[in-house]
Amino acid sequence: MTSRQIGEFLADADAWLAARYPAAISAGRRFSWGEGDDTVRVFQEPDPVAEAGALPAIRRWRQELWDAGYGWIDGPAEYGGAGLSATYARGFEQLTRRYQVPGDSALTVSLGMIAPTVLRHGTEEQRQYWLPRLQRGQQIACQLFSEPGAGSDLAAVATRAVREGSQWRISGQKVWTSGAHLADVGEIICRTAHEPRHGNLTAFLISMDAPGVTVRPLRQMTGGASFNEVFLDDVRVNDERRLGPVGDGWKVALTTLGHERGAMGHSAFGGAGILSTERLIALVRAMNKDGDPVVRQEFGELISRLRTARYVQEVQAAQARAGESAGPELALGKIALSDNFRRLAAFVADVTGSAIVADTGAWGTYAWTSVLLGAPGYRLGGGTDEIIKTAVAQRALGLPRSG
Amino acid sequence: MATRDRLALTDDERALQATLREFLTEQLPSAALRAAIESETGFSAELHQRLVQELGLGGLTVPEDYGGLGMGAAEAAVVHRELGRALYPGPFLPGCLAAAGLLAAGDDPACRRWLPPLAAGTATGTIAFAGQDGTWNGTDAIRADRTPGGWQLTGTSWFVPVGHVAQFCVVRAAAGDGPAVFVAELGSSVLVTPMPVLDLTRPLSVLTFSQTPVTLIVAGDAAGRVAERVHADLELATAAEAAGGIDWCLGTAVHHARTREQFGQPIGSFQAIAHQCADMLAGLQDASASARYAAAATAEGAGDARLATRVAVLRAGEAYRHAAETTIHILGGTGFTWEHDAHLYYRRAWSAQQLAGGAQAHRAAIAELAGL
């Protein structure tokens, strides 16, 4: 790979995007206090009707990308990818921010977690079948892992899969499933034997419209509903939809979870990407607190943590480019993210005062309640902070298991 | 090159790191470190000569024209990290800072006079920028007078590293109505008084000048910029040393947590211990990445270099203090003994954070540099 080649690639891509999509309104424009919508987005929690309505455009966007060879830039050529390095994929992703494209936010689980799992654990036939469909947005996938009785202790899943000839019959209940209401297919972890604990789980890809699958929205403490409960009542699935060997579901699940933690920490740059320094500064000024030495101390502390989260991500990306393999400590990025959200919530609450608890009508003040309400979710999502610390202590530091 | 292209270690940097790690593990085990800090000078002159002669550390950042290796901020940070990991007590950092002051001032005769012997290890250099409150803000503590025979300094400088063995120092003083930076030869007209110190591996002195003849190297606003450059180098080095120190702390704590048994099992199997170790690893990531980013941004002259440096010294410094304290705690009673080296790291962590400006000053600077 030379810089000339990537330069040409990006120039072609830019021309392709420019011919199809209008330039982004925000491109090159700086944040301006008091202008436009003051929503502070923490989770993707769009109105369900609007969200479903946006899907056809998202699927069209993915199909167009696929047809033009930009659908899976760093994917292997044998499954329809362009076979280029991650640098090309990142460069293209950055380019798309300059245009009004439908985006991939509804496909985070599909592309960021399920597709890599199929690539790693799928049979040749499954890869040939699923990977192009997932990348094209033709099939949208969700992750059916947690259950009422199996949260942090995921290996305790009670949903049963019983073999019957060339089919399996699945019954049980899943919960906290992001995007199940939009998904065509779900990666499900089921119990297929009693013992041993981690060796009796098996993964499948089930159709979300199969008879016996019921999806109910779950309202979160933020007021939004991006999660669901999923009930499975004697759902039939062919054995060819099994992902990995019978009894190997734990390994398959770990692959998916590994991608989830990485994706969470990375997508928001440990909190720095979601909210701009400019906006925080404008808030402090609007509240007339820019001369307050205590506020300046707290601001300096917060910025140092947000920046550091970004530096960690950038150094890890550079090490990956240099061919160094990432270790289990990558998951710590998720803790940096949840930690930074809590600190951000505390800072904006201190600066905003009473205007964060009741809407005075002042621009950009009450809007911060979303950060305050969303922060506890980040400590839980993608594995609780405690589960991640335990896993990192055992896998990265070699500390012994308890018991 | 952009900052992001300098973030991964190069093969040369990796080799430098490995060489230093091996050298210091062999030559500076705990017993040798203890012997050095209990000696009169506080370090082994013989070991320092080997670092200078065999590895060229004396002139690491000194341009080749002045007899050094001409390396930049990124390579220097690799060295600071390894020396910090071993709590190397010799005069390497003060020499780097003296070189930074001379080079930033850009006075060729002074560079020719002092940089080659510094690089060759025949002279020890240091800096004298701090007042009695430890800050670099005041220049009133030392007065510079112009006499027919040249400039003379009168007054006191505090917290001067390795002042007790240095042959020369780069010193800031008030010259008339503005600041100026001089080079002083530390001879009979300078009284050197060792200060009782928290960090046993980093001796500090008070220098009292009385009509000491000195050489002016820069005056006016440029003198302020030289001080800022030297302070930025001190911050970069402190952040890198902290990353090395945390690495030692984490390794020590994890080894103990794996092997020490209580209630019939290794204490590392208890989440209360395991989670503190994971937190230390997160602190190591933060310190390593921010120190590396700041060094790369400085080497590339990036616009965010100053902000990144303040972020690095704040976060690495805080993570170091936390890691050193956690290590003592995980070691239990053993960690609180004089015999165990943990307190040497604890002392270094607290001392280094203050000597580099202190967390409050860093936070205030970050707020300003970020635009508030």
CATH number of B245's domain: 1.20.140.10
Cβ-defined contact of B5 to A402 (cutoff 8 Å)? no
Between A40 and A303, the higher pLDDT residue: A303
Structural domain contains residue A38: yes
Residues of chain A with Cβ-Cβ distance to B254 below 8 Å are: 397-399
**Cα B171 to Cα B160: distance, rounded to the nearest angstrom:** 10
pLDDT in tens, A326-377: 788 888 988 998 999 999 999 999 999 999 999 999 988 998 998 899 899 8
The residue ranges of DSSP E strands in A192-267, in sequence order, are 201-207, 213-218, 227-238, 242-243
pLDDT > 70 in chain B, percent: 99
The DSSP result for A103-116, as a single string, is -SGGGHHIIIIIHH
Same domain, yes or no: A164 and A52: no
Chain B residue at shortest CA distance from A334: B282
A3-7, A244-248, B145-149: lowest mean pLDDT where? A3-7
Q: Compute the average pLDDT of residues B164-174.
A: 95
Strands A167-175 and A160-164 turn out to be antiparallel
Same domain, yes or no: B214 and B326: no
Nearest to A398 among B258, B308, B310 (CB): B258
Q: Compute the average pLDDT of residues A28-39.
A: 72
Q: Compute the average pLDDT of residues A186-207.
A: 90
CB of A51 closer than 8 Å to CB of A182:
yes
Q: So what's the ipTM on this one?
A: 0.96
Q: Give the per-residue pLDDT at A273.
A: 45
Q: Tell me how crowded residue A169 is: count the other CB atoms within 10 A of its CB.
A: 16
Same domain, yes or no: A300 and A228: no
Structural domain contains residue A167: yes
Where a domain ends, among B83, B105, B120? B120
Residues of chain B with Cβ-Cβ distance to A94 below 8 Å are: none
* Amino acid code (one letter) for A357: V
Residues of chain B with Cβ-Cβ distance to A332 below 8 Å are: 278, 281-282, 285
Chain B residue at shortest CA distance from A321: B8
pLDDT in tens, B95-132: 999 999 999 999 999 999 999 999 999 999 999 999 99
Nearest to A400 among B258, B281, B371 (CB): B258
Nearest-CA distance from A300 to chain B in Å? 4
DSSP A248: B
Between A164 and A104, the higher pLDDT residue: A164
Structural domain contains residue A121: no
Nearest-CA distance from A278 to chain B in Å? 8
Cβ-defined contact of A319 to B364 (cutoff 8 Å)? no
Same domain, yes or no: A236 and A309: no
A265-274, A289-298, B251-260: lowest mean pLDDT where? A265-274
Is the pLDDT confidence value at A271 over 70? no
Q: Give the per-residue pLDDT at B279.
A: 97
The angle formed by the CA atoms of residues B270, B251 and B12, to the nearest 5 degrees, is 145
Residue that the structure tokens 């009785």 belong to? A149
Element (H, E) at B311: helix B305-331
Q: What tokens does B310 get?
A: 């303040």
Question: Number of CB pairs < 8 Å for A and B?
Answer: 148
Residues of chain A with Cβ-Cβ distance to B365 below 8 Å are: 300
Q: Give the per-residue pLDDT at A320.
A: 84
Nearest to A393 among B275, B360, B363 (CB): B275
A15-19, A135-139, A222-226, A249-253: lowest mean pLDDT where? A222-226
Provide the mean pLDDT of chain B: 96
Same domain, yes or no: B111 and B150: no
Same domain, yes or no: B17 and B116: yes
Residues of chain A with Cβ-Cβ distance to B249 below 8 Å are: none
Nearest to B289 among A311, A398, A402 (CB): A311
Q: Which of A294, A308, A321, A402 to mutate to test the interface with B (most CBs of B within 10 A)?
A: A308
Nearest-CA distance from A15 to chain B in Å? 25
Residues of chain A with Cβ-Cβ distance to B267 below 8 Å are: none
Chain A residue at shortest CA distance from B363: A300
Q: Tell me how crowded residue A2 is: count the other CB atoms within 10 A of its CB.
A: 7
The DSSP result for B2-19, as a single string, is -GGGGSSPPHHHHHHHHH
**Cα B298 to Cα A399: distance, rounded to the nearest angstrom:** 37
Counting the structural domains of chain A, the total is: 3
* Amino acid code (one letter) for A384: T
Same domain, yes or no: B354 and B325: yes
Write out the residue range of the structural domain in which residue B190 sits.
Answer: 125-220
Q: Give the per-residue pLDDT at A222.
A: 85
By residue count, chain A amounts to 403
Structural domain contains residue A89: yes
pLDDT in tens, B203-218: 999 999 999 999 999 9
Where a domain ends, among A103, A126, A160? A103
CATH number at residue A226: 2.40.110.10
Of B45, B92, B320, B288, the closest CA to residue B202 belongs to B92
Structural domain contains residue A46: yes
Q: Give the per-residue pLDDT at A107.
A: 86
Same domain, yes or no: B242 and B204: no
pLDDT in tens, B47-80: 999 999 999 899 999 999 999 999 999 999 999 9
Backbone angles phi, psi at A240, to 5 degrees: -70, -10
Which pLDDT band holds residue A199 (cuts at 50, 70, 90)? Answer: confident
Nearest-CA distance from B12 to chain A in Å? 14
Cβ-defined contact of A308 to B4 (cutoff 8 Å)? no
Chain A residue at shortest CA distance from B297: A311
Q: Give the per-residue pLDDT at B340.
A: 97
Chain B residue at shortest CA distance from A392: B278
Structural domain contains residue A123: no
Burial track B35-66 (b if 16+ CB lie within 10 A, e otherwise): ebbeeebbbbeebbeebbeeebbbbbbbbeeb
Strands B168-175 and B125-128 turn out to be parallel
CATH number at residue A314: 1.20.140
Residues of chain A with Cβ-Cβ distance to B307 below 8 Å are: 307
Same domain, yes or no: B89 and B146: no
Write out the residue range of the structural domain in which residue A62 sits.
Answer: 3-103
